[in-house]
Every structure is written in structure tokens, then in C-alpha cells.
Amino acid sequence: MRFYGDYDRYLKGTPGEELIDLFDQLTHQTAGNNRCRLLFGVFGHDAAETIGAISVRYFQQHHRLPDKSTLVERYYGEYIPPVSLFIGFDRFSAFDMPLVATGSEDLYFTVSPSPYLTERQLRCILYDHLYARRVKEPDYETLPVEAIERMRAFYKMNFERTLGVGFVRDRFWYPLSQVDLPANFGDAPNNETETAQPGA
């Protein structure tokens, strides 16, 4: 696990300054886990300014412009390949992924704030990312009639509904539940802690 962003600048001199050492300790403790990386952005909203400063310092030291891989390494502390998933909170918008976002990553958004993410919830997200979304779409021309009818019923029941629509209460934005499942879906999962098996 690695933390990135301008947390050092924003937390230093505040009651949250002790988090800086905790972030560094956790990064050190998980440094040997090389199969997958989990990046946690903290105060990563000034990426353009930070990357600009990195570029200037690199040019002053090496008298040439840094390439993309160098910028990625200097910004994140190590080279990070393009990300494959993003876990956000609140309104549907992907951010805090400078230099490593490609537009093809799987997007997930928790309803409760990110610090409330549970182990079970993370397992659900990772299962969906690693298995459910990897299932190859079938050939529509060879779909059985019952599968076509199931799809038709789903789209008809959710006509004019849009994922990402919400409402404002007390000046906070809250998401609205948008999806209903037809009866012919059988025992389909109905909440964020359940997932369908691959190919189901």
C-alpha cells in the first residue's frame, strides 16, 4: 500500500500531523507486497502544481525534461503502471489519479465516506473487479430467448433511470437508488455485500 498526494504539506503543523508517520509506516510494512498495489490519495488535488514543481527540479538537476515514467516515479514514490480500478466516494467522478488514469479503469463509489470502507466491502469490490467484470460478453445472436427476455425486462423496468443522480439535503448531496431487478432475475444479488458468481 502506498499513500500519495500533498499530505505532508497540508498535515504538517496540524493536529493530524501524526498521520504522516503512520502513512509512512504502513507503506514500509507493505513494501514487500509486489503482486498488487493499493494507492490511497490524500490531498492529491494539487497534482498539476506538484507535477510542475517535480519537472522543474528534475530539469535543474539533469538539464533535460523528465519523461512520463520518471514523473510517475517521482510523484508516487515508485513507478506505477496504469491503474485498473478506482474506488471513490459520493458523486460519480474519478479524480486524484494523475499520470496513471487511462479511462479504462473499473470505477466504484462507496455510499459512506472512504474511511468507513470495510474489509467485506473491499472484498466485494475486488471480486467484482477481478471476476465479475472479466466475464466475456456473449454473442447476442446466440443468446437464448430467456436471456434476451431477462435483459428486456431489466431495461424496461429501469427506463429513464440514471446511475449518478442524487438529491441535496442540508447542503449535502446524497445518491438515489436507481436500479430494480425484475422477478425473472431469480436469486440475483440485491446489496453491496453480495456478488454474482462468474458467468451467472
CATH number for the domain spanning 63: value is 3.40.1180.10
Q: Give the model confidence (pLDDT) of 53-101 as tens digits.
A: 999 999 999 999 999 999 999 988 888 889 899 998 888 887 778 899 8
Identify the CA nearest to 100 among candidates 86, 119, 117, 118.
86
Q: In which band, very low, low, confident or very high, does the pLDDT at 18 lie, cut at 50, 70 and 90? A: very high
Residue 95 lies in a domain: yes
128 shares its domain with 63? yes
Q: In which band, very low, low, confident or very high, does the pLDDT at 192 lie, cut at 50, 70 and 90? A: very low
The answer to whether the beta carbons of residues 164 and 88 sit under 8 Å apart is no
The answer to whether the beta carbons of residues 68 and 99 sit under 8 Å apart is yes
Give dist(CA 153, CA 35) in Å, integer: 41
How many structural domains are present in the chain? 2
The answer to whether the beta carbons of residues 2 and 40 sit under 8 Å apart is yes
Q: Give the model confidence (pLDDT) of 120-162 as tens digits.
A: 999 999 999 999 998 888 898 999 999 999 999 999 999 999 9
Secondary structure of the chain in HEC code, one letter for each residue: CEEECCHHHHHCCCCCCHHHHHHHHHHHHCCCCCCCCCEEECCCCCHHHHHHHHHHHHHHHHCCCCCHHHHHHHHHCCCCCCCCEEEEECCCCCCCCCCCCCCCCEEEEECCCHHHCCHHHHHHHHHHHHCHHHCCCCCHHHCCHHHHHHHHHHHHHCCCCCCCCEEEECCEEEECCCCCCCHHHCCCCCCCCCCCCCCC
56 shares its domain with 19? yes
149 shares its domain with 130? no
Position 105 scores a pLDDT of 92
Position 90 scores a pLDDT of 82
Residue 199 lies in a domain: no
The answer to whether the beta carbons of residues 93 and 72 sit under 8 Å apart is no
40 shares its domain with 107? yes
> At 14, which amino acid appears?
T
Position 148 scores a pLDDT of 92
Position 174 scores a pLDDT of 92
29 shares its domain with 96? yes
Position 45 scores a pLDDT of 67
Residue 196 lies in a domain: no
Q: What is the mean pLDDT of residues 20-46?
A: 83
Range of the domain at 164: 142-185
Q: What is the separation of C-alpha 120 from the centre of its chain, rounded to a whole number of angstroms?
A: 16
Give dist(CA 39, CA 88) in Å, integer: 12
Residue 60 lies in a domain: yes
Q: Write down the pTM of the prediction.
A: 0.69
152 shares its domain with 118? no
Residue 10 has pLDDT above 60, yes or no: yes
Position 115 scores a pLDDT of 84
